[in-house]
Amino acid sequence: MAIVAIDNLYKRYKLGSRELSVLRGLNLSIGGGEYVAIMGPSGSGKSTLLNLLGCLDRLSSGSYKLAGRDVPSLDDDELSRIRGAQIGFIFQSYNLIAQLNVIENIQVPMYYQGVGERESVTRATELAELVGLADRLTHRPFELSGGEQQRVAIARALTNNPVMILADEPTGNLDSESGAEILRILDDLHARGRTLVSVTHDPKVAARSERTIHLLDGRIEREERNGHV
Amino acid sequence: MHRLRSALTTLGIVFGVASVIAMLAIGEGASREAQAAIARLGSTNLIVETIEPLKERADTGNQEEVHRYGLTYKDAEAIHDTIADVEVVVPIRELDQEARYRRRKVAVRIVGSTPWYTDTVSLRMLRGRFLSSIDLHQQQNVCVIDERLVAGLFGFEDPVGKDLQMHGSCYRIVGVAGAVSSPIGRNGEANGAAVLSTSGASAAGNVYMPLTTAKSRFSEMDFALSGGRESAKRVELHKITVKVRSMDDVLPMRDVLDTLLKRLHEKSDYRIVVPLELLRQARRTQFIFSIVLGSIAAISLLVGGIGIMNIMLATVSERTREIGIRRALGARKRDIVVQFLSETLLLTFVGGLLGIGVGLVIPLLVTQFGNMPTIITSTSLILAFGISAAVGITFGLYPAYRAANMDPIESLRHE
């Protein structure tokens, strides 16, 4: 079953009196367990697409079904719920909450889904171990390296067992060694059957995926299958 | 959250709450004292007092003549006999005299009255007994002194059974009564407060004796030198206290008394003081006083609240990115509202508690060093805390609402 089914998607912004179309008639389908990379030059609409996929933004016209649910018809609270429960976000700048330690940062999405404190701590600890941070549980973000912070973010993205993980330039702020480590973890997640969508302009990152979608001026320019699987 | 900033912000609430409590305590204390003094006069009492009418100077000329005025024994009888609703009528004659015991002398105020004087004034008997009907009928040379005289005249001796010398006669002391403090307002603000005084300014204390004794032993004439001329005044009674059954009867009784006395007196040489009315006035004054003080304090709380709102708005914009992250991770708008509102409430709650602490201390200091009575009522505590909570909610809602309605994408991009 398709996790993402997008049909004739438009996204327009009002810029003063002019209207700017960022996405123009996009069709996209992502199946369960797929690993998709989205590439394109600045202004091609990749960030906008990612925000729409992540239910952070609303489309102007067209349709978007996420795991069978019609996203445009949902209200703000339901969108919040989907973001928390169905989607895992990984950002370029990690976006950890500075005053919370590692375990608390991982717990944040569970808090909003009403997971009990004890279960939440257990799950967060397991995930921290999974990304190799078992000895860093009570550290605060500023005490961690960039790679470690991004691993916390990955653990956080997995807490509610999402149907799709969205990564926005996950290695953009990292040195090559830490970047490689993060990519390895993403590969690993994919191998375990996770659905991954990552936005990047680094061809090496895109090459790790099964399928690369090239955007240009709000349309899909071309798609290519990466034959390494 | 910055600790220093939060602490400074909270300080606004602390002082706001503290000043509400302190102001109300001071206001309450200031009026309660006056009210208590007035209440001691008896809320079911009416006091008719002799006042000196304005003399017609031209008529008196340079002739020596006795100026006769004031309440009379006949008045007291008339009140007693003609007004049905009166429960007790107490005629009182007051004289300033010098009292001696052995070689000690002291100025006293003699209160000549009846045994039922105690029905209108709550007099605690510390030792012995009060005046009796036999004392009254037989014009006994007995007296009751008030406790303020004991130390000065008798030292450590028991005054009961001793003889007090006044105006050449001896009076057997039969009892010692508690002092009746004078209900003069602290600032003399209470209406007619001066005339409510039960003891002369210079007198060390009261000496109570039967009215009959006071009448026969002491002259009703009072000679004085004024402007090189000798003048004489003659007054029979200085006061008549009238007690009615209930407070509802007090005001009608004043009119009845006034009508009766107007018929008996040509000159306006008396006045009717109604403690109940003074009490009501004092309460009204205190109410206004409390409102004024309370408003001043409430304004300082308001300023504190604005401070909190200011800091919360700063916090919200500082934490824009965090809000974006939380929204992306599944926080609903109301989750964000709850988060920021509870932070504001925490600040005001802590501020409120500290403010109550400070507010309890300030009145103590005022009492200690300012020598002013203060009364902290539980109402003022609840009020102060309620206001601070209301301030927290009012001034916390807007920043929280603003935080919740920020666009998550914009917030995530925020540096």
Residue of B nearest to A52 (CA): B409
- Which of A82, A84, A74 lies closest to A107 in space, CA to CA? A84
pLDDT tens digits along A156-201 = 999 999 999 999 999 999 999 999 999 999 999 999 999 999 999 8
CB contact under 8 A, B329 and A54: no
Does B257 fall in a domain? Answer: no
Which residues in chain A are contacts of B405 at CB distance < 8 A? none
pLDDT tens digits along A217-226 = 999 999 999 8
Taking residue B20's Cβ as centre, other Cβ atoms within 10 Å add up to 29
Residue A78 is predicted with a pLDDT of 95
B153: left (phi over 0), alpha (psi -120 to 50) or beta: alpha
Which residues in chain B are contacts of A165 at CB distance < 8 A? none
CB contact under 8 A, B331 and A112: yes
CB contact under 8 A, B330 and A85: yes
Q: Are B227 and B359 part of one and the same domain? A: no
Top mean pLDDT of B25-34, B179-188, B404-413 is at B404-413
Asked if residues B16 and B355 have their Cβ atoms less than 8 Å apart, the reply is yes
Residue B197 has pLDDT above 80, yes or no: no
Strand B169-177 to B142-146 pairing: parallel
Q: Which of B226, B245, B264 is the last residue of a domain?
A: B245
CB contact under 8 A, A112 and B321: no
Residue of A nearest to B322 (CA): A97
CB contact under 8 A, A112 and B333: no
CB contact under 8 A, B328 and A77: no
Q: Are B168 and B294 part of one and the same domain? A: no
Instruction: Calculate what percentage of chain A has a pLDDT beyond 70.
Output: 99
Among the partner-chain residues A56, A77, A96, the one whose CB lies closest to the CB of B332 is A77
Residue B193 has pLDDT above 70, yes or no: no
**Rounded average pLDDT over B304-318:** 88
Query: Confidence class of residue B9 from pLDDT cuts 50, 70 and 90?
Result: confident
Tokens of A45: 């609409």
Does B223 fall in a domain? Answer: yes
* Nearest CA-CA distance, residue A94 and chain B, Å: 10
pLDDT tens digits along B49-71 = 998 887 655 454 555 567 788 89
Does B267 fall in a domain? Answer: no
The Cα angle at residue B314 between residues B310 and B317, in degrees rounded to 5: 140
- Which of A198, A218, A223, A185 lies closest to A50 in space, CA to CA? A198
Among the partner-chain residues A51, A80, A112, the one whose CB lies closest to the CB of B409 is A51
Residue B301 is predicted with a pLDDT of 82
Residue B57 is predicted with a pLDDT of 53
Q: Are B66 and B184 part of one and the same domain? A: yes
Q: Which of B194, B219, B245 is the last residue of a domain?
A: B245
Residue of B nearest to A100 (CA): B322
Does B112 fall in a domain? Answer: yes
Q: Are B81 and B224 part of one and the same domain? A: yes
Amino acid found at B222:
D
pTM of the model: 0.68
Place of tokens 């209406």: B191
pLDDT tens digits along B352-405 = 999 999 999 999 998 888 888 888 888 888 888 888 888 888 889 999 999 999
Mean pLDDT of chain B: 84
ipTM for the predicted complex comes to: 0.95
Strand A219-225 to B104-113 pairing: unpaired
Residue B338 has pLDDT above 90, yes or no: yes
A40: left (phi over 0), alpha (psi -120 to 50) or beta: left
Which residues in chain B are contacts of A83 at CB distance < 8 A? 327-330
* Nearest CA-CA distance, residue B388 and chain A, Å: 28
Residue B218 is predicted with a pLDDT of 86
Q: Are B233 and B314 part of one and the same domain? A: no
Does B146 fall in a domain? Answer: yes
pLDDT tens digits along A107-150 = 999 999 999 999 999 999 999 999 999 999 999 999 999 999 99
Query: Confidence class of residue B187 from pLDDT cuts 50, 70 and 90?
Result: very low
Interfacial A residues in 60-119 facing B (CB < 8 Å): 76-77, 80-81, 83-85, 89, 91, 95-98, 108-109, 112-113
CB contact under 8 A, B412 and A54: no
Query: Confidence class of residue B291 from pLDDT cuts 50, 70 and 90?
Result: confident
* Nearest CA-CA distance, residue B332 and chain A, Å: 5
* Nearest CA-CA distance, residue B305 and chain A, Å: 26
Q: Which structural domain range is residue B322 located in?
A: 3-36+282-413
Residue of B nearest to A158 (CA): B329
Q: Are B179 and B221 part of one and the same domain? A: yes
Q: Which of B245, B266, B296 is the last residue of a domain?
A: B245
Q: Are B16 and B77 part of one and the same domain? A: no
Does B196 fall in a domain? Answer: yes
CB contact under 8 A, A56 and B322: no
Beta bridge pairs of residue A213 = A38, A223
Residue A100 is predicted with a pLDDT of 94
Q: How far apart are CA A221 and CA A26, in angstroms?
A: 10
Residue of A nearest to B328 (CA): A83
CB contact under 8 A, A83 and B330: yes
Q: Which domains, and CATH codes, for chain A?
A: 2-66+74-225 (3.40.50.300)
**Rounded average pLDDT over B80-86:** 87
Counting the structural domains of chain B, the total is 2
Reported as half-sphere exposure (CB side, CA atoms, 13 A), residue A99 has a value of 7
Q: How far apart are CA B82 and CA B259, in angstroms?
A: 12
Residue A154 is predicted with a pLDDT of 96
* Nearest CA-CA distance, residue B333 and chain A, Å: 7
pLDDT tens digits along B101-135 = 988 889 999 999 999 998 888 788 888 999 999 99
Does B265 fall in a domain? Answer: no
DSSP tally for chain B: helices H, then strands E: 13, 13
Residue of A nearest to B414 (CA): A95
Place of tokens 């002013």: B372
Q: Are B103 and B142 part of one and the same domain? A: yes
Tokens of A184: 């390895």
Query: Confidence class of residue B203 from pLDDT cuts 50, 70 and 90?
Result: confident
Does B253 fall in a domain? Answer: no
Place of tokens 């925490």: B346
- Please state the φ and ψ torsions of residue B55, each to the nearest 5 degrees: -80, 145
Q: How far apart are CA B234 and CA A25, in angstroms?
A: 115
Which residues in chain B are contacts of A156 at CB distance < 8 A? 329
Q: Are B95 and B216 part of one and the same domain? A: yes
Report the residue of A13, A46, A56 to disrupt the B interface, i.e. the one with the largest count of B CBs within 10 Å: A56
Q: Are B18 and B101 part of one and the same domain? A: no
Helix ranges restricted to H, B41-177: 57-60, 73-82, 133-137, 147-154
* Nearest CA-CA distance, residue A218 and chain B, Å: 19
* DSSP conformation class of A18: E
CB contact under 8 A, A56 and B329: no
Which residues in chain B are contacts of A54 at CB distance < 8 A? 328
Amino acid found at A220:
I
Q: Are B19 and B59 part of one and the same domain? A: no
CB contact under 8 A, A57 and B326: no
Helix ranges restricted to H, B61-206: 73-82, 133-137, 147-154, 193-196
pLDDT tens digits along B141-185 = 999 998 888 888 888 888 999 999 998 889 999 999 988 754 433
Exposed e or buried b per residue across B159-188, where buried means at least 16 C-beta atoms within 10 angstroms of its C-beta? bbebbbebeeeebebbbbbebbeebbbeee
Pairs of residues, one from chain A and one from chain B, whose beta carbons lie less than 8 Å apart = 56
Q: Are B297 and B241 part of one and the same domain? A: no
CB contact under 8 A, A95 and B332: no
CA torsion through residues B272, B273, B278, B280, sign: negative
